[in-house]
Each structure stands twice: as C-alpha cells, then as structure tokens.
C-alpha cells in the first residue's frame, strides 16, 4: 500500500525500472533454458551420428569376416576390430549377447571389467518392446552427465545378433563457455538499457506529471471572487490530459457563470431590499400628510375666525412631514455616498496626490505634468472620483492575477480642460461591455452593487465634464476624466 501512496511521478519511474529489470531477468532465464535444451539436443544428435557410423563399421566387419556370423563368434569377429572402431570414433563400445551378457569391450584393461558385465533388465525390456530396437538412457554419475545408447545388431539376414552399447559423456565445457559469454554480453546490454531506462523514466515521468501539476496549481489558485485563468492546450498534449484540462476549463466557465449569476442575484436582492426600505420610510410621512389634507378639505371654512390659526397648524403639519421625507432622502443620499456638493477652487494635482496617498499598493505610479492645475470642484467628490477609479483598477489587476501589476495616474492640461487618466494592466473590458460600464447596477465583479463608475460619471457630468473608457481585453484599461479649468 505504501507504493500506491507515493506520487504518480515516482510510481511511473519505479514501475518502468522494475519492468526493465524483470524483462532482463526473464530474458536471461529463457536464454539459459534455451542453451541447455540446445546442449541436450546437440549431445543426443551427436551420439546418434556416432552410433550410425559405428554400426556401419560393424556391418562392414560382419560382411567381410571369415568367422561364422553368430552370437557366440562375436568376441572372435571383433577381437581386434573393436579397438580400431574405438580409435576411429573416439568412443568406448560394448557388445552384449541377446540376454545381456558382456561379449566384448573396447576398454583395454589388465583386469576383467566388472562395471559393464550385464545389460540392465529394464533396458532389455525396452529393447524387446521397441519396434526400432533402440534405447537411449540418460543418467548422472559423480556429477557428470552421461547418455548411453543401446541398439540391436543384426546379421546379414537381419537376424538379431548382439546388443551394442555406446556410453557417451556430455562435455558441456564449450557450451557453458558460450553461455557465459552470451550472458556477459547480454548483461552489458541490459546494464546500458537500464541506465537509458532510468533516464527516460525520469524525464517521461516528469513530462507526464507536469501537466497534472499545472492543473493542480490552477485548481489551488481558483477563487470565486476573481477571474480565473484557463489552461491552454498544445498539440502535443495527451488525450487523457486534454480531457482533464477541458473538464477544468469547463468548470471555470461554469464557476464564472455561477459567480456572475450569484453576484447579480445579490445585487438584485440588495436593490429590492433598499427599494422596499425607502418605500416604507416614504409611506410613513405620506399617510399623515394625506389625512391632514383630507381633513383640511372637509373642515376648511374661509369665514371661520380661527382660519389663520388652523391654516398655520395645517401648514406646520405638512412642513413637518416634508422635513421627514427630506431627512429620508438625505439618509439615502448619505448611504449611497452622494453628499451635497460644496464647490471650491482647488489644485487638481495636489488633490489627486492626496487621494492616492490612501492606497498602500507599490505598483501605483503618479505622473503630474504640471505642478499646479486649478479647477473649481468639490474636494470630497474629486477624491471620490480618483479613489473609485483606482479601486476599480486594483480589482481588475487582482482578477487577472497579474504577476507584474502596474497602475499609472496622469494629470495634465488639454486646452481649457483639466485631465486625469488612470491606466492599468488588469483584465480589461470586453467589447460587448464597453457601453455598459457606466450604467447603474452593471458590474463584472462578484461583489459590489455596480454604483461606483455610475457615481463617478454622475459627479463628473455635474461639473460639465466627461469620462471615457479605452480598453483591450486582457491587456489594459484607460479611464480619462475631463472637466473645465478655472
């Protein structure tokens, strides 16, 4: 189980190495087995070839002997010839009668041979039951492997004459030497293959898991309150990784759609709640005002001596309710951050710098062309214009996840007008939304009520100015605020 808890890269790496090692061991085992099979077949075929040649020599001797070709005469017939045959074929041979008793041996000795005096009974049984009258026995003695061939010799009329035994030692020295040399060469080749496999496994496992790491990093960076980047596919991406990346990109699309829908629903609910609250607050003074007017209609008498007093009383009641409605409007105006304007002559360069001092971001750069630029404007509202534009740029940069964020603020004159520009390298605005950004309640963010830019536009237009927008999606956005100088 510990193996499956390792990273996918390590599992691929070790699996490929183990596969190469197992393949090498398997090929080595098959090679050894194949060599042994070939050696066994080689010795058997060699024994059969020698047996065939020896039988031809025996037949030649039997055809040219002066002795009667009988079993009892075999020792005399092969008295000297058996040693010639041994010298020619480099192989010991033994001749037995049909009952398995030793007749003649090529093994020269001063003592009687007691090891090959009789053919084993199971060999006689095999020769008797075999149609080919031939039997090969394999055995091991003193750590040496032997093959012993038994076959029946016939006379000129194919009558069984004797049994020929050829003991054969399997000398595998040459075969074993060839086997060791081949295994050495294979070992070197496998070692080189193993080194190559380790290198390939390392790079291949990194290549396979790199895309997975990219996907995991993107998933970890995914946030609901910002625009998440999709993963771009290249033509060399594998089918499995492509499927995973497409699923991730599809999730991002659904997430953005859900976030936008959620934000829209939240803004809609906020506006509904606000409208409900405002309507409720306005209805409170309207009811007594209606009752006062209706009462005045029913009871008004121009000849009443207290008519002036009653008129004053009714008027005070209406004024009081009107003041209540005015305070509600003022409260709503304060809630919407739109206080009454207080015009004054001020230095636009200085006030803009004052507005920028609120922010701590080190990627905000201020470039005033002039030291003094005088205009008539409400100080608080001018600060509100600048701060709203800067906040909008900061949010756009955060949405883009920009690695090298930058916001540039410029103040300069343009004819009879003062100009403030705010440029950022955030997500930008799509072409379809360019004409909607200054509309109330419109926003592409997942928070806020969509009033910021609408309020800025309203403030600027109040001072006979204008605000324009230039943007390339995923590149930059430039807001330009223009209003008359003093």
Q: Say which CATH class 343-484 falls into.
A: alpha beta
Secondary element (H or E) of residue 50: helix 8-63
SS3 per-residue string spanning 204-226: HHHHHHHHHHHHHHHHHHCCCCC
User: What residues does each domain of the chain span?
Assistant: 3-176, 239-335, 343-484
Please give the residue that has the higher pLDDT: either 273 or 374.
Answer: 374
pLDDT at 4 over 50: no
**Rounded to whole angstroms, how far apart are CA atoms 275 and 284?**
14
Least confident of 35-49, 147-161, 313-327, 388-402: 313-327
Backbone angles phi, psi at 480, to 5 degrees: -125, 115
**Rounded to whole angstroms, how far apart are CA atoms 479 and 423?**
7
Residue 112 is predicted with a pLDDT of 53
Check if the beta carbon of residue 89 is closer than 8 Å to that of residue 50: yes
Q: What is the pLDDT of residues 323-342, one digit of tens each?
A: 767 666 655 665 555 555 67
Degrees (nearest 5) of the Cα angle 297, 300, 302? 140
Secondary element (H or E) of residue 417: strand 417-424
pLDDT at 410 over 50: yes
Q: Taking residues 40-46, what's their average pLDDT? A: 76
Backbone angles phi, psi at 186, to 5 degrees: -65, -40
Closest-CA residue to 106 (of 77, 138, 80, 67): 80
pLDDT band at residue 224 under the 50/70/90 scheme: low
**Rounded to whole angstroms, how far apart are CA atoms 459 and 482?**
12
Residue 386 is predicted with a pLDDT of 92
Q: What is the pLDDT of residues 297-325, one digit of tens each?
A: 777 677 777 777 777 777 777 777 777 67
Least confident of 1-15, 353-367, 415-429: 1-15
Residue 287 is predicted with a pLDDT of 63
Least confident of 172-186, 373-387, 414-428, 465-479: 172-186
Mean of the per-residue pLDDT values of the chain: 77
Residue 276 is predicted with a pLDDT of 66
Question: What is the radius of gyration, based on Cα positions, of the chain?
Answer: 56
**Pairing assessment for the beta strands 364-368 and 407-414 based on DSSP bridges:** parallel
| pTM of the complete model | 0.38
**Rounded to whole angstroms, how far apart are CA atoms 14 and 209?**
14
Cα 396 off chain centre by: 30
Q: Taking residues 446-470, what's their average pLDDT? A: 78
Q: Are domains 3-176 and 343-484 of this chain identical in fold?
A: no
**Rounded to whole angstroms, how far apart are CA atoms 275 and 449?**
14
Give the up-direction half-sphere exposure of residue 7: CA atoms within 13 A in the CB hemisphere: 10
Closest-CA residue to 321 (of 278, 275, 281, 294): 281
Check if the beta carbon of residue 79 is closer than 8 Å to that of residue 168: no
**Rounded to whole angstroms, how far apart are CA atoms 450 and 433?**
13
Q: Dump the DSSP string for 170-217.
A: ---HHHHHHHHHHHHHHHHHHHHHHHHHHHHHHHHHHHHHHHHHHHHH
Closest-CA residue to 137 (of 163, 108, 162, 104): 163
**Rounded to whole angstroms, how far apart are CA atoms 367 and 349?**
10
Residue 408 is predicted with a pLDDT of 94
pLDDT at 38 over 70: yes
Token representation of residue 32: 């050894």
Please give the residue that has the higher pLDDT: either 410 or 98.
Answer: 410
**Rounded to whole angstroms, how far apart are CA atoms 65 and 155?**
12
Residue 228 is predicted with a pLDDT of 63
**Rounded to whole angstroms, how far apart are CA atoms 73 and 161?**
10
Q: Taking residues 278-287, what's their average pLDDT? A: 64
pLDDT at 365 over 70: yes
Neighbours of 35 (CB within 10 A): 18
**Rounded to whole angstroms, how far apart are CA atoms 221 and 228?**
8
Cα 348 off chain centre by: 55
Check if the beta carbon of residue 86 is closer than 8 Å to that of residue 92: yes
**Across the chain, how many H-helices and E-strands are there?**
10, 12
pLDDT at 280 over 80: no
Instruction: Give me the CATH code for the 3-176 domain, please.
Output: 3.30.450.20
Check if the beta carbon of residue 126 is closer than 8 Å to that of residue 100: no
pLDDT at 3 over 50: no
């Amino acid at each position: 189980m510990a193996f499956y808890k390792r990273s996918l890269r390590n599992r691929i790496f070790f699996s490929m190495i183990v596969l190469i090692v197992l393949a090498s061991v398997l090929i080595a085992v098959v090679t050894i087995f194949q060599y042994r099979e070939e050696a066994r077949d080689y010795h058997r075929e060699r024994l059969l070839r020698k047996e065939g040649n020896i039988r031809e020599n025996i037949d030649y001797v039997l055809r040219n002997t002066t002795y009667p070709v009988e079993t009892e005469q075999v020792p005399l017939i092969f008295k000297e010839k058996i040693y010639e045959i041994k010298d020619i074929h480099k192989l010991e041979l033994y001749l037995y009668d049909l009952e398995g008793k030793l007749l003649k041996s090529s093994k020269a000795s001063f003592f009687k041979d007691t090891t090959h005096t009789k053919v084993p009974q199971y060999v006689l049984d095999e020769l008797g039951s075999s149609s080919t009258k031939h039997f090969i026995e394999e055995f091991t003695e003193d750590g040496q492997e032997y093959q012993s061939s038994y076959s029946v010799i016939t006379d000129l009329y194919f009558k069984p004459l004797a049994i020929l035994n050829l003991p054969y030692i399997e000398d595998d020295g040459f075969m074993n030497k060839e086997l060791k040399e081949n295994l050495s060469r294979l070992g070197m080749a496998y070692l080189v293959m193993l080194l190559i496999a380790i290198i390939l496994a390392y790079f291949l496992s990194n290549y396979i898991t790199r895309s997975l790491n990219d996907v995991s990093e993107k998933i970890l960076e995914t946030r609901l309150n910002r625009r998440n980047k999709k993963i771009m596919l290249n033509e060399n991406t594998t089918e499995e990784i492509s499927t995973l990346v497409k699923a991730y990109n599809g999730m991002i699309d659904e997430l953005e759609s859900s976030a936008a829908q959620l934000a829209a629903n939240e803004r809609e609910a906020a506006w509904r709640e606000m409208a409900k609250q405002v309507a409720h607050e306005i209805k409170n003074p309207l009811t007594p005002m209606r009752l006062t007017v209706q009462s005045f209609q029913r009871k008004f008498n121009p000849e009443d001596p207290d008519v002036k007093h009653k008129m004053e009383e009714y008027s005070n009641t209406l004024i009081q309710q009107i003041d209540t409605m005015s305070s509600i409007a003022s409260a709503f105006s304060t809630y919407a951050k739109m206080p009454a304007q207080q015009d004054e002559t001020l230095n636009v360069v200085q006030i803009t710098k004052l507005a920028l001092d609120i922010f701590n971001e080190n990627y905000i750069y201020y470039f005033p062309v002039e030291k003094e630029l005088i205009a008539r404007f409400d100080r608080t509202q001018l600060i509100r214009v600048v701060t709203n534009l800067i906040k909008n740029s900061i949010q756009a940069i955060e949405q883009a996840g920009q690695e090298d964020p930058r916001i540039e603020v410029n103040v300069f004159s343009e004819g009879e007008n003062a100009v403030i520009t705010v440029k950022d390298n955030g997500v930008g605005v799509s072409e379809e939304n360019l004409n909607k950004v200054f509309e109330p309640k419109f926003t592409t963010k997942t928070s806020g009520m969509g009033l910021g830019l609408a309020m800025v536009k309203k403030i600027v237009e109040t001072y006979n100015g204008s605000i324009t927008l230039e943007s390339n999606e995923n590149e930059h956005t430039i807001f330009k605020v223009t209003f008359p100088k003093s």
